[in-house]
Homo-oligomer: A and B are copies of this chain.
């Protein structure tokens, strides 16, 4: 069922044949689209994602936050620190387990939700209208499957077959 495309390994090095590159480009471009929309709220894109979780789920540990966004906890720490400096949230040690740090929205952080609520709809409409809402929907579910695959395979690495590059040729 798969159409017989070239199996010359060199052909695979074409930028257009890769899946990774469009994803990389799309992610960067989306970040660039979000920037002017989030600037009035004083949020970066990563900070916006943190807010989405806090608005939806309430107080949460730093590690859980990082896990939810599929980023390293070493990346999360400075993000929530800056957000604390902005008065959006508080960071406190868990009294029952001093290793955990609980992140909580301040009232200022809570109230920001009102200003943010129009953003996803506006973007979703704009993209959906031009790309086709069904295309966007399929894209969303496919990418989520890919994310699920990649994040589970970070335990049993996906590239483990590489150490023996071409057994025989």
Residues of A within 8 A of B (CB): 1-2, 7, 9-10, 12-15, 17-34, 36-37, 45, 49, 52-53, 55-56, 68-71, 113, 116-124, 126-127, 130-131, 133-136, 138-140, 142-147, 149-151, 153-154, 157-159, 161-162, 165-166
Contacts and interface: CB of A to CB of B under 8 A. Distances in A.
B123 A158 contact: yes
A30 B146 CA distance: 10
Given A9-B121, A55-B13, A135 B145 contact: yes
Contacts of A130: 149
Contacts of A136: 19
B120 A15 contact: no
A99 to B, nearest CB: 25
Q: How many of these chains are in the complex?
A: 2
Nearest to A52: B15
Contacts of A1: 134
A144 B45 CA distance: 22
A52 B122 CA distance: 36
B26 A165 contact: no
Contacts of A142: 131, 135, 138-139, 142
Looking at A14, A30, A49, which has the most chain B CB atoms within 10 Å of its CB?
A30
